[in-house]
Chain A
């Protein structure tokens, strides 16, 4: 074969030094999706402060965070799940079921911490159910969780009918209505803490690396000795648990449980994740992106609310924002020579 490509057959015996990185992490971060999204967030913040005199008020801004904190908690876990190539559309129904379970437990006088445990345990159980169907039976997660979306909320409807649970203990209200210091709410602190936890989990641990590997190429990950099914199962558990946490916060904030609680949240959570730069097909994305996306959606909803824009227009605006922010880099690349 030496007669074919004589030049390719010779190997220089000098070992070359391969650098770690081509560009510094700082430069890479500057050119990232998250930076663009941060610029959008700042632009919306500035616009809002000009449009409404009530915007730059500490208490108003604090109230605004409630628009996204509960959804964002779920979005962190959902981001990992989507990066791994799966999805959970039943999260809003898990909130309904967990909230119903807590309301049902009121008659047994389990105390505030008993309620919290029941809410979280229900979330975990739902997540385990989803995870078993997906990893145990090999079913596609989008189908499984569309099914459990109806199932979980259906159980709430059977238990509650057109009734609701009320009369949560007074100290239970702290999770959704309490403040840790001045305008800093308990929910916001929890949101920030969970953001840090998920940041470390995804970007700083072996587990997070496995999540990326699975999302990029599940077969390759399996052939590299990654326990693919186990990682996916844990992600479904985490997503269920986060829905349970959100259920505790939301139920506490509303002070009641109705079967329509958190209706349609699954789409807002997925929107937040995708807006945050997570590839809906899996393989890439980051927690900082999701955090910024949470702020963007919260600021937009709050700003439009101050301007008395009706809810339906808000959802139109969020939809346009999602498409716009995703199309922007494409258009930018096409327009540049």
Chain B
């Protein structure tokens, strides 16, 4: 199975097995990749580094044939190729192990490994014996102690990863893409994964390793490539760089978005949280928020920021801790309780949690405020329209009419409806979770301007964001979370892109 691979890794070092050049990919309103290049070498691990939204996922999808690039070339062994479908990429020997592995719970380990290309016997039926035998061989090769006939649902997350890797090997992949493979693994499982990566390297496979964790990048990568805002900003050998260099490359840009000027006037404390804990998501959270303040929450995906915010909003119950509003201790059991206490939450998942896409704009806006517009319990449409118009026009909503379904609006305008909905409840604290994720630049600026306006009016704002420019441009103070704990609280001169990334990724101080 390995005969066509490079016999000796050293000799092949200078010839990339896969080369992407000048690749551009545009989505409506967003240029996800602009003229990027990427080279992968046999027997080497290339780490792909970048902030959220830098274009990492897009390039993975381009090179596995899920997206088609608008412009640019893909070459395998120096020969230009064209991936029309994911099958074409698989046929060229490129396979990906995704962050959330795409596997089938009800099928066996062997069936998962060979799905789509199972060995056939007579009459074209699947030859189960051969399939299980070959699956056992592959599992053996990666030292995975798994029975090929076990149903996948009986396996833990780490073993599922092994199955995904075995699946990659079953098609004799020459390029293996690993998208944050250690995100859900324990330390011991991570070590086992490193061993496996070393073995794949020894077999001469080229590996693209996507990770936010600097310690593991330095542990296993030979080369790096850094993306920023859809552009390729640097590549080279790991031996030539330090953590500091990489952080600089990742974030070191002129802040090219224009953020509103703010004259920060913090008032009295509105919200105080002491000792908030959750069995799995976060622990020991203390924070205090003043009127007129914008508190940024930065961290990697999975750091527990959204989970904390949802506990404050009453979606989940914290296992310990107290919450006070204006100095009074309150127990929040449901979103209805939170809203009654003046806390509102603009969720990250706009389509599922934020807006009700099948209902008209005005009904979305007035949904939590119906008690105000129609105190008797009977609807007062005229008052609903007035309330909805007041807030949506303030947010410069672009819509044909207020009875238009929210599902027909663009992402940015949907977000404006969600924000309008919460402002109509006249809250004291507004929590915005990735408020500008996936919305166009114009709406982004409108949301930023509006946040500043709200703070100036004395609202206390919590903004969860993974975008460093947004965190820096908007926040008065920033809490950095890592693995469910508060890693740092930064303000003033301490608040730089470097400190944010260091605390979020758990890197020590620069020498």
Interface of A with B (CB < 8 Å)? 1-5, 8-11, 15-22, 200, 204-210, 212-213, 216-217, 219-227, 283-284
Contacts and interface: CB of A to CB of B under 8 A. Distances in A.
B374 A206 contact: yes
Name, among B335, B339, B385, the residue most crowded by chain A CB atoms within 10 Å (CB to CB): B335
Interface in B20-73: 29-31, 34
Contacts of B75: none
Given A217-B358, A284-B358, A18 B393 contact: yes
B338 A8 contact: no
A222 B392 CA distance: 22
Contacts of A216: 356-359
A283 B358 contact: yes
Given A5-B441, A22-B404, A220-B355, 13 more contacts: A1-B256, A9-B445, A11-B396, A11-B446, A18-B402, A20-B362, A204-B379, A209-B370, A220-B356, A223-B347, A224-B421, A227-B334, A283-B358
Nearest to A6: B441
Contact of B396 (A5, A15, A21, A22): A15
Interface in B351-386: 352-359, 362-363, 367-368, 370-371, 374, 377-379, 385
Contacts of B355: 220
A20 B392 CA distance: 12
Contacts of B31: 4-5
B400 interface: yes
Contact of B345 (A15, A213, A223): A223
Interface string B141-152: 000000000000
A8 B335 contact: no
Contacts of A4: 30-31, 34, 441
Nearest to B335: A225
A258 to B, nearest CB: 41
Given A16-B393, A22-B404, A217-B356, A10 B442 contact: yes
B278 to A, nearest CB: 18
10 contacts: A3-B256, A5-B31, A9-B442, A19-B402, A21-B402, A205-B377, A206-B379, A213-B356, A219-B352, A223-B313
Contacts of A10: 442
Contacts of B347: 223
Nearest to B382: A20
A78 B75 CA distance: 61
B354 to A, nearest CB: 7
Contacts of A3: 256
A17 B396 contact: no
A117 to B, nearest CB: 27
A15 B389 CA distance: 11
Interface in B407-447: 421, 440-442, 445-446
B315 interface: yes
Interface in B389-406: 389, 392-393, 396-404
Name, among B229, B356, B440, the residue most crowded by chain A CB atoms within 10 Å (CB to CB): B356
A213 B377 CA distance: 16
B336 interface: yes
Contact of B401 (A18, A204, A223): A18
Nearest to B375: A206
Nearest to B368: A225
Interface of B: 29-31, 34, 229, 256-257, 313, 315, 334-336, 338-339, 345, 347, 352-359, 362-363, 367-368, 370-371, 374, 377-379, 385, 389, 392-393, 396-404, 421, 440-442, 445-446
A20 B352 contact: no
Contacts of B336: 225-227
Given A22-B400, A217-B357, A220-B356, A209 B379 contact: yes
A225 B338 CA distance: 8
A210 B442 CA distance: 33
A207 B370 CA distance: 10
Contacts of A284: 358
A20 B388 CA distance: 9
Contact of A226 (B313, B354, B367, B377): B367
Contacts of A9: 441-442, 445
Contacts of B358: 216-217, 283-284
A8 B367 CA distance: 31
B352 A220 contact: yes
B396 to A, nearest CB: 7
B257 A18 contact: no
Contact of A223 (B34, B256, B354, B442): B354
A26 B433 CA distance: 40
Contacts of A11: 396, 442, 445-446
Contacts of B402: 18-21
A16 B400 CA distance: 10
A177 B256 CA distance: 80
A224 B442 contact: no
A4 B379 CA distance: 46
A254 B358 CA distance: 44
A209 B292 CA distance: 34
B424 to A, nearest CB: 11
Contacts of A17: 393
A1 to B, nearest CB: 6
Contacts of A224: 335, 356, 367-368, 421
A223 B441 contact: no
A216 B358 CA distance: 6
A21 B403 contact: yes
The 4 closest A-B pairs by CB, nearest first: A216-B358, A22-B401, A206-B370, A225-B339
Contacts of B445: 9, 11
Contacts of A210: 370
A18 B397 CA distance: 8
A220 B442 contact: no
B419 to A, nearest CB: 13
A204 B377 CA distance: 9
B378 A223 contact: no
Contacts of A283: 358
Given A18-B401, A205-B378, A209-B363, A220 B354 contact: yes
Contacts of A220: 352-357
A217 B404 CA distance: 17
A111 to B, nearest CB: 35
Nearest to B395: A15
A221 B257 CA distance: 34
Contacts of A5: 29, 31, 440-441
A254 to B, nearest CB: 38
A75 to B, nearest CB: 23
Contacts of B399: 18
Contacts of A225: 334-336, 338-339, 367-368
A283 B403 CA distance: 16
Contacts of A209: 363, 367, 370, 379
A199 B53 CA distance: 48
Name, among A16, A20, A205, A209, the residue most crowded by chain B CB atoms within 10 Å (CB to CB): A20
A234 B442 CA distance: 44
A321 B379 CA distance: 35
A1 B229 contact: yes
Nearest to A14: B396
A227 B336 CA distance: 7
B374 to A, nearest CB: 6
A2 B256 contact: yes
